[in-house]
Amino acid sequence: MKSKKKTNAARILDTLGISYEIREYEVDEDDLSAVHVAESVGMPIEMVFKTLVARGDKNGVLMAVIPGGAELDLKALAAASGNKRVEMVHLKEVFALTGYIRGGCSPLGAKKAYPVYLDRHAQEQGTIAVSAGKRGEQILLAAADLIRATGATVAELVR
């Protein structure tokens, strides 16, 4: 049996005493979509959340955690985060800012503790899945526990 190296995200949850489940899946380099991840881990898309990295004109870099099948409303994120405008960070900047690559970006354990904004739909789900911080691994946990672990602000973030 191969030894599992825990991700920073999992170690943070361990430190906080938060229970979670790691669900692994086969990575498809041609399809890193949340829809594919949801199918791969056998969960409805409403329960699988993706983490997007954005930058506000006033408050800088932040993370938005939204349902996998939804589209981020940049105006809503700007309002929730106290910015006039928010734009997505260029993909080539994501690793330098967070230490994560596309398809493996987690709201937990980034290089810096950026503010996290969680879409309110998370609270309608008993359990949600977010990236464990690497492709091929999802962390399943209660939305309330993700809020506690990240200090997330809950807001309406999707169209």
Q: DSSP characters for the chain?
A: -PPPPPPHHHHHHHHHT---EEEE----TT---HHHHHHHHT--GGGBEEEEEEEETTTEEEEEEEETTS-B-HHHHHHHHT-S-EEEPPHHHHHHHHS--TT---SSS-SS---EEEEGGGGGSSSEEEE-SSTTEEEEE-HHHHHHHHTPEEE--B-
Residue 1 has pLDDT above 50, yes or no: no
Distance of CA 16 to the CA centre of its chain: 18
Q: Give the pLDDT of residue 126.
A: 84
Mean pLDDT in residue range 136-150: 97
On average, the pLDDT of the chain sits at 94
Token digits of residue 38: 């949801």
Mean pLDDT in residue range 54-66: 97
Mean pLDDT in residue range 48-67: 97
Mean pLDDT in residue range 88-116: 95
Residue 24 has pLDDT above 60, yes or no: yes
Percent of the chain with pLDDT over 90: 89
- Contacts from 94-97 at CB under 8 Å and sequence distance 24+? 94/53, 97/53, 97/61
- CB proximity list for 111: less than 8 A, separation 6 or greater: 97, 98, 99
24: phi then psi, degrees, rounded to nearest 5: -95, 155
Q: What is the pTM of this model?
A: 0.94
pLDDT tens readout for residues 91-103: 999 999 999 998 8
> Where does the pLDDT of residue 2 fall: very low under 50, low under 70, confident under 90, or very high at 90 and above?
very low
The fold of the 19-155 domain, in CATH, is: YbaK protein (3.90.960)
